[in-house]
Amino acid sequence: MKQDAEIKRALLDKVEGMDIEKKSPGELSEEMESQDVYTYNFSNEGELSKGSEGDYSFAVLEDGRFLMPESPEQAGTLSYQSKEKHPELLNEINHLVDIGF
């Protein structure tokens, strides 16, 4: 999937500054197993193939809680969860990247 730099920046701007809290890997796994999870991966290379790891990623639970890595260097390891649910932001993001379910 080809990525557009403008869309990437818009997505990252939407999640930047979100109020988050550290969670244990077990807590995050439990949350991810209990509901649908939407994962967004970004690559500075512009292309991602199935199973490849991006330069930055975040995930969103079906209920609107965002899961994020500690830093861009640890893109594949989610360590933080948003303190509040943001279902409207999940809808905005899916619309921005033109995802429909």
Q: What is the pLDDT along the chain (101 residues), one digit of tens a residue?
A: 445 777 777 887 888 889 999 999 999 999 999 999 988 877 766 665 555 566 678 899 999 999 998 876 776 788 999 999 999 998 888 888 776 55
Walk across the sheet containing 37-42 and list its strands. Answer: 20-22, 78-82, 66-69, 56-61, 37-42
Element counts in the chain: helices (H) and strands (E): 3, 5
pTM for the full model? Answer: 0.78
List the domain boundaries for the chain.
5-96
pLDDT number for residue 2? 43
Distance CA 56, CA 68 (A): 9
pLDDT number for residue 57? 81
Identity of residue 77: T
